[in-house]
Chains A and B, each alone.
Chain A
């Protein structure tokens, strides 16, 4: 029996080798069906996006022509294709926070900038968002912040959403902080936030509550003006 087994085995090996040789001649096609997906790689992978004209952008935003030019140069330098996808955005933003993990917050930021939710930020989105942040009125800025916190964009900030945001902010700090970031720190911070913001104690913060509370808070109002002259 052992001999039989070995001979069968030997014959099996021979057949496999034979098929390998046949494949070389292209006679045996069935094996090649697995490699069809390579064709799809041939399509052009990069799509170039051209922003709207300078004048239109100038109309839409509050930046001067030179500022727009300078912004666009920086933008195009980092993203030659004219579109920022989420991965690139995360990597760029993470470079500013080397100690911690900025990817989660970057994700939220990305969603805040990507108004039409198509997975990539164009220069127009970028510049319009910046215009609000740098040249907008306080109300517009607060609106933007609310939009950032409201992850599902339903008009209400729930505790879970705020917790996610808070955690992502604390993540950016990283491990080496003084004093050490305790695990409960984000949720405590969220509680404090809700105490301040949630007027009617219904567990969610609406846009009116948010704006109203912020306008009453000195610190927040001052800090909103902080980045006026970034560009």
Chain B
């Protein structure tokens, strides 16, 4: 039903009274409009710009956002209006759609932004009116091509497990992937050039021998040329076979243009080998040599411009066809006229209409060889008209072809530009990512700081640190934190990771007790970034840290890594004990090692500790911040930690929130 004329529906229904007297059966009951209310104005506030319309206007399209009850989600009670936080300019066309029933696509609007708006308001783009539909489709196609270009670039990333065949194919298709491919590329290019030059030079007459006239070089140095030819053909054959082997779909490869060119380039040689020096076939053999010139087309793999030209010609096939057709028509017309005009003149070269074709073509293309000229006045008049019209007929389809070529060429240029900028783009993205990761790690550390400060009670410092992160960021970091807890792994930045993996490679045995920078092999992936930085700090430092701030972070992991012999469980459970309620610990064995645990306990408050530990291969029953661990085997917890910070009596209530308090002990 045409919603655009919805306003006339009452009229159409009223006019139906005209059928009543004619009808023989009773009419169905009319639907009652129960929700009959006076048509009211709705205010739509789109980013501050207020649009107003009748409610019934919006109700015309009930399957869109504005026409259905979905808009109630956006209703603002205080201002009694519907607020949408979207682009007001694009909203204009959307509201006009409701009013007029036609959706228009404004030219200044970006296609993806417009598509997003349409998707948001639940309008399908296919109903764009005819006036704007072409433009919309064109822009959409361009956009899709651009996206496709991007995707194709991404495909260049090397996949880890590629078979030899796939590697070869990639090397053939894109010579920049490896040096071998590049070498191959240049070698084949070189040999193509050699082959073409050989073919050319073969026919140049070089130095006359005493007896005969000039002989072409080919006949003089037959052996040399033959050897050269053989070498080139062998290279081409090998290349073709390799390509055939590497092609993912051999059938498709064999049908492709380039492979046909390859075959045509090398076939004459083999045919020549096969054929003997027979008199009757040697003529055909000579003709075959012509096909050797097809080797020059192999250059199109090396030159992008050539490929573009070929593609343009292919895409302009219809324009070229039209050009050909119109030229043929004109040639026939003018040839006929010229023939009859020149019929009377003596010794006229225009012996027949087909003979006049040559004159017409030469004249229309403004070549004018002069081997055939009209002599009569009528012939001259028609000849001049012919040349003038030739210019016109040829000039008409040429701009179309040129513009096609230009469009494709610019597209390619754009792709090249984007590829060149890709590096910069990726670098930017990487920097942004690392920036945010660093910010996260930084905030983690300052989180530790914060908590320590709470303990030490330095208010000023705490305030300074806690305000440096915005609410959004802190929520984001909390989220990342939760993820860390869930997976029992920690985020680190690249260098740390590499350093750590290096360390784990170097470290072999469990003799890590004294070295603070040792990292447990299993836990390499969870190295706290801070830990590696604190390589220098000796762990077995019995003195209370004059500077409690930097150490607490790295310490706990170091602690536990000192006991690689200990089962991971034990370390886990050890931690749990420590991180649990301090009161309960007083009764646990941990009291015996209270001193040692002091630092650890404090560290537990950060909640950082457990993650580092849990990274060890833990039994499935343990996850996240650790729950019940098989606690029965307990070894003394890590050696006396160097962090003799605040006495253990300090409450750790603040930390408990981070950690699940279950202590197996």
Q: Which residues of B contact A73 (CB under 8 A)?
A: 7
B107 beta carbon closer than 8 Å to chain A: no
- B10 nearest in chain A by CB position: A230
Residues in B neighbouring A220, C-beta threshold 8 A: 20-21, 23
B340 at interface, CB cutoff 8 A: yes
Which of B259-267, B375-383, B655-663 lies at the interface? B375-383
CB distance A130 to B25 under 8 Å? no
Q: Determine whether B215 belongs to the interface, using a CB cutoff of 8 Å to chain A.
A: no
Please tell me if the beta carbons of A112 and B11 are within 8 angstroms of each other in the complex: no
> B156 at interface (Cβ–Cβ under 8 A)?
no
Q: Are B1 and A96 in contact (CB under 8 A)?
A: yes
- Closest residue to B380 on the A side, CB-wise? A10
| Contact, CB under 8 Å: B33 / A229 | yes
Q: Please, how many residues of chain B have a CB less than 8 angstroms from a CB on the other chain?
A: 45
8-22 of chain B: CB within 8 A of chain A: 8-22
Centre residue among A13, A14, A227 by max chain B CB count within 10 A: A227
Identity of the chain B residue whose Cβ is nearest the Cβ of A146 in the assembled complex = B21
Which of A19-27, A36-44, A137-145 lies at the interface? Answer: A137-145
Determine if A164 is an interface residue (Cβ-Cβ < 8 Å). no
Residues of A within 8 A of B344 (CB): 2-3, 6
Residue contact A2 to B343, C-beta cutoff 8 Å: yes
**Residues 132-162 (chain A) with a chain B CB within 8 angstroms:** 133-134, 141-142, 144-145, 148-149
Q: Which of B2, B19, B23, B382 contacts A219 (CB 8 A)?
A: B23
Q: Which of these, A71, A165, A224, A230, contacts B20 with CB under 8 Å?
A: A224
Known contacts A75-B7, A130-B14: does B341 contact A6 (CB below 8 Å)?
Answer: yes
- A74 contacts the other chain (Cβ, under 8 Å)? yes
> CA of A194 to CA of B403 in the docked complex: distance in angstroms?
71
- Tell me, yes or no, whether A95 is within 8 Å of chain B by CB: yes
Chain A residue nearest to B6 (CB atoms) is A74
Q: Report whether B378 and A148 are in contact in the complex, using a CB–CB cutoff of 8 Å.
A: no
Confirm or deny: B39 has a beta carbon within 8 angstroms of a beta carbon on chain A: yes
B6 to chain A, nearest CB (A): 8
Asked if A128 is at the interface of the complex by the 8 Å CB criterion, the answer is no
Contact with B along A180-202 (1 / 0, CB 8 A): 00000000010011000000000
* A212-231 interface bits toward B, Cβ cutoff 8 Å, 1 = contact, 0 = none: 00100001101110110111
Complex interface: chain B residues within 8 A of A230 (CB): 10, 13-14
Q: Verify if B24 is at the interface (C-beta below 8 Å from A).
A: yes
A87 at the interface (CB under 8 A from B): no
Q: When the two chains form the complex, which single residue of B14, B24, B39, B382 contacts A134, counting CB atoms closer than 8 Å?
A: B14
Most buried by B among A73, A126, A214, A230: A230
**Cβ–Cβ contact B382 & A231, under 8 A:** no
Any chain B CB within 8 A of the CB of A55? no
Q: How far is the CA of A144 from the CA of B79 in the complex (A)?
A: 49
Name the CB-closest residue of B to A217: B21
Contact of A93 among B7, B12, B39, B99 (CB under 8 A): B12
CA distance A83 to B303 in the complex (A): 66
Most buried by A among B14, B21, B24, B29: B21
- Inter-subunit contact A193/B22 (CB<8 Å): yes
A148–B340 Cα gap in the complex (Å)?
A: 71
Assembled-state Cα–Cα distance A210/B377 (Å): 87
Partner pick for B26 among A134, A214, A219, CB 8 A cutoff: A219
| Interface presence of B420 (CB below 8 A) | no
Q: Is A77 at the interface (CB under 8 A from chain B)?
A: yes
Count residues of A near B (Cβ-Cβ below 8 Å).
51
CA distance A231 to B15 in the complex (A): 13
- Dominant secondary structure at the B interface: helix
Q: Are B8 and A74 in contact (CB under 8 A)?
A: yes
List, in ascending order, chain B residues with CB within 8 A of A226's CB. 17, 20, 27, 29-30
A16 to chain B, nearest CB (A): 11
Task: Decide: A133 and B15 in contact? CB cutoff 8 A.
Answer: yes
Decide: A141 near B17, CB < 8 A? Known: A2-B340, A75-B7: yes
Interface contact B17-A145, CB-CB below 8 Å: yes
A192 touches B24 (CB 8 A): yes
The interface bits of chain A over 59-103 (1 if a CB of B lies within 8 angstroms of the residue's CB, else 0) are 000000010001101110110000000000000110110100000
**B209 contacts partner chain A, Cβ-Cβ < 8 Å:** no
Inter-chain CA distance A13–B381, complex, in Å, is 9
A192: nearest chain-B partner, CB-CB: B24
Docked-complex contact B14 and A96, CB < 8 angstroms: no
Query: Do residues A95 and B5 form an inter-chain contact, with CB atoms below 8 A?
Result: yes
Beta-carbon contact of A92 and B5 below 8 Å: yes
Return the CB mask of B344-386 against A: 1 if under 8 Å, else 0.
1000000000000000000000000000000011100110010
Query: What's the least CB distance linking B74 to chain A, in Å?
Result: 26
Known: A219-B23, A223-B26. A10 touches B381 (CB 8 A): yes
A130-B26 contact, Cβ under 8 Å, with A6-B340, A92-B5: no
Q: Of B6, B17, B26, B340, which is in contact with the most chain A CB atoms at under 10 Å from its CB?
A: B17
A95 pairs with B18, CB closer than 8 A:
no
Q: Is B38 located at the chain interface by the 8 A CB criterion?
A: yes
In Å, the complex CA distance between A71 and B17 comes to 19
Q: Is the CB of A223 within 8 A of B11?
A: no
A169 interface residue, CB < 8 Å from B? yes
A78, B22: Cα distance in complex, Å: 30
Closest to B12 in A: A96
Query: Which residue of B9, B340, B382 is within 8 Å of A96 (Cβ)?
Result: B9
A146 CA to B14 CA, complexed, in Å: 15
B61 to chain A, nearest CB (A): 16
Tell me the complex Cα distance, A229–B343, Å. 88
In chain B, residues 198-244, which have Cβ atoms closer than 8 Å to a Cβ of chain A? none
Question: Which B residues, 549 to 588, have Cβ-Cβ distances below 8 Å to chain A?
Answer: none
CA distance A146 to B584 in the complex (A): 101
Scan B24-54; emit 1 where CB is below 8 A from any A CB, else 0: 1111011011001011000000000000000
Contact B9 A189 (CB under 8 A): no
A223 cross-chain contacts in B, Cβ below 8 A: 20, 23, 26-27
Q: Does A204 contact B (CB under 8 A)?
A: no
Contact residues of B with A, CB < 8 Å? 1-2, 4-27, 29-30, 32-33, 36, 38-39, 99-100, 340-341, 343-344, 376-378, 381-382, 385
27 of the cross-chain contacts (CB-CB < 8 Å) are: A3-B344, A6-B343, A7-B377, A7-B378, A9-B378, A14-B381, A70-B39, A78-B5, A93-B15, A96-B2, A109-B15, A112-B18, A130-B10, A130-B14, A133-B14, A133-B17, A134-B10, A141-B17, A144-B17, A144-B18, A149-B21, A165-B22, A193-B22, A219-B25, A219-B26, A226-B17, A229-B36
5 tightest A-B CB contacts, nearest first: A74-B7, A95-B2, A3-B344, A10-B378, A133-B14
Query: Chain A: residues with CB nearer than 8 A to chain B?
Result: 2-3, 6-7, 9-10, 13-14, 66, 70-71, 73-75, 77-78, 92-93, 95-96, 98, 109, 112, 126, 130, 133-134, 141-142, 144-145, 148-149, 165-166, 169, 189, 192-193, 210, 214, 219-220, 222-224, 226-227, 229-231
